[in-house]
C-alpha cells in the first residue's frame, strides 16, 4: 500500500500538475478532495465548512443514474474484471460488446440497427459526423459536407463537436478561422409544451432549402439543450426537422448523450417526438457513471450508403473500442434501469423539483425556473462571474449539496435513486446558491 498523500500535499500537487475541466494552469481555486462515494453521497477527505458528505446534485455530470458504489454495478465490473478488462476490437469480438450493441438497438428508436462503440461522447459525435459525410461521399456527393444546427447547443469539446456548439456561449470567437464554419439556425423557441411557432418553422425550412446542396446533416440535442443553457423545446420541432431533412435530402443526427436513459421522462428524448434520426449518439449515463463509453447508432440506409463507396469501410477505431469492462457495466446499468419502474422515479423527482424550486422564482436576480423529468434549472438574469460562481458553490456545500453552476444557471440533474428528503435538500441548496451567487 502507498502512504496516503494527505489533503494539503494532494492539493499542492494538483495545483502544480493537474489540468481540470475548463481550468487554467496552474489552478486558481482548490477543488474539493473526494475520498469515496456511496448512494447519492460524495465523502470528502476532510470537512469543508464543517461538511464531510455532500448529496450529489450533479450525478457526476449527469451520468451516475443509480448512485455510487452500487452493488449490482460493482458485481458486473468485478465479474468482468476476472475474465478480462480489455482486448482489442479489431479482428476480435466478445459477449459484453455484442450484447450491449444488440440491447441498444432494441431500446432505441425503431430503425437504428448498427452500433459503433466509442470511448467518449465527443468521439461518438465525431463518428456520427464521419458517418454522415462519408455517406454522401460514397453516394457521389462529396460537396455535402457542412453541418447545420440551432444555436444554444453543446456537442462536446473535440473540433467537430466544437464547431456545432453555440457560437456565442462556446469558444468560437477564440477559434474563429480554425473551426469549420457551420450553418446556424436561431435557437428553438423555449418551452416543452409550447405550440409550434410558424415563423420559426419557416426559418428552419428557409435555411435548409438554401443550404441543402452543401449539408451532410442537421445535428441537434433533442428536447433539451443541456450544457448550452438547460433550455427545453417542443418535440414538434424534431418532427419538423425529420420532415425537412427527408424533403431536402439531408441526414438527421440526434445527440442524446445528455438526454438518453430516462433523464427527460422518456427513455430517449426522441421518443417524445416518435422520430427516428439517421444517426444517434448516446453516452454519459450509458455505464451508469462507472466507466467511459459512448455509442453512435445508425440506420441501415446510412450503413449501406457507406458500404457502396469506393472506400467501403468506416475508418475509425479507438484503441479502447468496445471495452468489455465498460460494456459489462453498461448492460448491468440498462438492466437495472429497465428492471424498475424508472418512469415513476423520474416523475417523483420531477414533482419534488417543481415543488422545491418554485420558491426560487421570486428570488432577486432570477429570470426563470424550469423543470423537465429529473432536470431542474434556475436561470439568472445575468451570468455568474468567477466570484459569483464560487459563492454559489460554497453556499450549496454549506447546505450539504454538490452543485456546479455555470453561466446564468444553477441547476441539478440528480441520480434517479435520490430520495425525497435529499431532493428537498438539493432544492434548498439551489435556492441558497442562487441567493449567494446573485448577491455577489
Ligand X SMILES: *Cc1c(COP(=O)(O)O)cnc(C)c1O
- Active site residues per annotation: 22, 154, 255, 284
Nearest approach, Cβ of residue 120 and ligand X (Å): 4
**Quick check: 435 binds ligand X (CB under 6 A)?**
no
Contact pattern for ligand X over residues 208 through 247, marking x by CB under 6 A: -------------x----xx--------------------
d(CA 139, CA 187): 31
Residue nearest to ligand X according to CB distances in the complex: 121
What sections of 215-374 are H helices per DSSP? Answer: 236-248, 269-273, 300-307, 324-338, 342-357
**Chosen residue from 208, 258, 329, 433 binding ligand X by CB under 6 A:** 258
Q: Are strands 251-255 and 279-282 parallel, antiparallel or unpaired?
A: parallel
Rounded to whole angstroms, the maximal C-alpha distance in the chain is 65
Nearest approach, Cβ of residue 261 and ligand X (Å): 12
Binding-site size, ligand X (CB under 6 A): 16
Nearest approach, Cβ of residue 406 and ligand X (Å): 12
d(CA 311, CA 284): 32
**Quick check: 376 binds ligand X (CB under 6 A)?**
no
Half-sphere exposure at residue 280, Cβ-oriented, CA atoms within 13 angstroms: 26
Which residue matches cell numbers 456565442? 168
Among residues 330, 281, 286, the alpha carbon closest in space to that of 130 is found at 281
**Quick check: 156 binds ligand X (CB under 6 A)?**
yes
Nearest approach, Cβ of residue 410 and ligand X (Å): 18
Contact pattern for ligand X over residues 110 through 129, marking x by CB under 6 A: ----------xxx--x----
**Chosen residue from 66, 137, 155, 172 binding ligand X by CB under 6 A:** 155
Q: Are strands 146-150 and 409-412 parallel, antiparallel or unpaired?
A: unpaired
**Quick check: 65 binds ligand X (CB under 6 A)?**
no
Nearer to ligand X, 101 or 294 (CB): 294
**Chosen residue from 67, 188, 235, 283 binding ligand X by CB under 6 A:** 283
Render the burial of 244-255: b for 16+ CB within 10 Å, e for the rest.
Answer: bbeebebbbbbb
**Quick check: 255 binds ligand X (CB under 6 A)?**
yes
* Grid cell for residue 393: 458553490
Which residue matches cell numbers 466507466? 291
Angle between helix axes 324-338 and 95-107 (nearest 10 degrees) is 40
Nearest approach, Cβ of residue 253 and ligand X (Å): 11
Binding site for ligand X (CB under 6 A): 120-122, 125, 154-156, 221, 226-227, 255, 257-258, 283-284, 294
Amino acid at each position: 500500500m502507498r502512504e496516503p498523500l494527505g489533503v494539503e500535499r494532494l492539493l499542492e500537487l494538483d495545483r502544480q500538475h493537474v489540468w481540470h475541466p475548463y481550468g487554467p494552469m496552474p489552478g486558481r481555486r482548490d477543488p474539493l478532495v473526494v475520498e469515496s462515494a456511496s448512494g447519492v453521497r460524495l465523502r470528502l477527505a476532510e470537512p469543508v465548512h464543517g461538511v464531510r458528505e455532500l448529496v450529489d446534485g450533479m450525478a457526476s455530470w449527469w451520468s451516475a443514474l443509480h448512485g455510487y458504489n452500487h452493488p449490482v454495478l460493482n458485481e458486473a465490473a468485478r465479474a468482468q474484471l476476472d475474465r478480462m478488462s480489455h482486448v482489442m476490437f479489431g479482428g476480435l469480438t466478445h459477449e459484453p460488446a455484442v450484447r450491449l450493441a444488440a440491447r441498444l438497438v432494441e431500446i432505441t428508436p425503431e430503425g437504428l440497427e448498427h452500433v459503433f462503440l466509442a470511448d467518449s461522447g465527443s468521439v461518438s459525435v465525431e463518428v456520427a459526423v464521419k458517418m454522415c459525410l462519408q455517406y454522401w461521399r460514397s453516394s457521389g456527393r462529396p460537396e455535402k459536407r457542412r453541418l447545420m444546427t440551432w444555436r444554444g447547443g453543446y456537442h462536446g469539446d473535440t473540433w467537430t463537436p466544437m464547431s456545432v456548439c453555440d457560437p456565442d456561449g462556446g469558444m468560437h470567437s477564440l477559434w474563429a478561422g480554425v473551426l469549420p464554419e457551420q450553418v446556424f439556425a436561431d435557437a428553438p423557441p423555449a418551452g416543452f409544451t409550447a405550440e409550434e411557432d410558424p415563423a420559426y418553422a419557416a426559418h428552419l425550412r428557409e435555411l435548409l432549402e438554401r443550404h441543402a446542396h452543401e449539408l451532410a446533416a442537421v445535428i441537434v440535442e433533442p428536447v433539451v439543450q443541456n450544457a448550452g443553457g438547460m433550455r427545453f423545446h417542443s418535440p414538434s420541432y424534431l418532427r419538423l426537422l425529420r420532415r425537412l431533412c427527408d424533403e431536402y435530402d439531408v441526414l438527421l443526427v440526434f445527440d442524446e448523450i445528455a438526454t438518453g436513459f430516462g433523464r427527460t421522462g422518456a427513455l430517449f428524448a426522441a421518443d417524445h417526438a416518435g422520430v427516428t434520426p439517421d444517426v444517434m449518439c448516446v453516452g454519459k449515463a450509458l455505464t451508469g457513471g462507472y466507466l467511459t463509453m459512448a455509442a453512435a447508432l445508425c440506420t441501415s440506409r446510412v450503413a449501406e450508403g457507406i458500404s457502396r463507396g469506393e472506400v467501403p469501410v468506416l475508418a475509425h477505431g479507438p484503441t479502447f473500442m468496445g471495452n468489455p469492462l465498460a460494456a459489462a457495466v453498461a448492460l448491468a446499468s440498462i438492466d437495472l434501469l429497465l428492471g424498475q419502474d424508472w418512469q415513476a422515479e423520474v416523475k417523483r423527482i420531477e414533482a419534488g423539483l417543481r415543488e422545491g424550486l418554485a420558491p426560487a422564482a421570486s428570488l432577486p436576480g432570477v429570470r426563470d425556473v424550469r423543470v423537465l423529468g429529473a432536470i431542474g434549472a434556475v436561470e439568472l438574469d445575468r451570468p455568474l462571474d468567477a466570484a459569483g460562481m464560487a459563492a454559489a458553490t460554497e453556499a450549496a456545500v454549506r447546505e450539504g449539496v454538490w452543485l456546479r453552476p455555470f453561466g446564468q444557471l444553477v441547476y441539478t440533474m440528480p441520480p434517479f435513486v435520490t430520495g425525497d428528503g435529499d431532493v428537498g435538500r438539493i432544492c434548498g441548496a439551489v435556492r441558497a446558491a442562487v441567493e449567494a451567487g446573485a448577491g455577489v
